[in-house]
Structure 1
Amino acid sequence: MNRTKNLSPIFRQILSKPIPSARCASDWVPQEKETHTGQKWEADDYRLARFIDRPKHVNPNFAINLIAEVPPKACKERVVWCDGGSGPTGHPKVYINLDKPGNHACGYCGLRYFRDTHH
């Protein structure tokens, strides 16, 4: 059954005309935060599709900045060792030579040591 049969001629004329529809293109581009490794994608990168409805979460507390806040540890020995902590939270034990003046950082965790020459 024709539904426009019971309508007035004006409504029939309106409903019979095709309504042009415009596709609204989105110019939305996610705010790209740079990670600690410098990862920043281009605006047309396909990998940004995963952040269409969700923000990209980047932890602003980079480990290198947190380690830099730890003051260097004064040591009386010429050679010290660092294991990064205890047990499973640490790293292999490394020995650090403190003969030269200044701070000497652990290659694994970045903790700094210096030789305290004052007696």
Structure 2
Amino acid sequence: MLSRSSCSLLAQSKNIIFKTLSRAASTSTSAPLTSNHIATPTPAGSTPSTPVIGTQAPNYPSTWSANQRTRPTSGSGPRFEQTAMELQPNPLSAMAMIVEEPIRLVEGRKAVCDGGGGPLGHPKIYINLDRPGPRPCG
């Protein structure tokens, strides 16, 4: 049976050994890597693929806000290092879809929009038409 002093001495020596091992494992004498990418060999007779740089949205070519980053650069940084942006969803721009929607003329001072119904719609809203010009439902 070990005494208290020998147990504490044993625990201290374990801590010293673990610190030494962790320092030895964390330090290296090799040159640091300049890139985080791992080179994969390409089969003979084929050319390496280049990343496809897409537009902001399939139906809208540029950004729609002054401080918005373009789609190819918005997915940069450590959070997206191992993400293939070509495989990520690229939804349609709502602005372009609204422009394609025809204007409907309404008699009276109020119009009603039920959001198209279904789970993707919005609750029924009433639109005040006192001011001249077209009015969106959102």
With structure 1 as the length reference, what TM-score do the two structures score? 0.50
Higher RCO, 1 vs 2 (CA within 8 Å, ≥6 residues apart) = 1
Q: Which has the higher strand share?
A: 1
Higher-Rg structure is 1
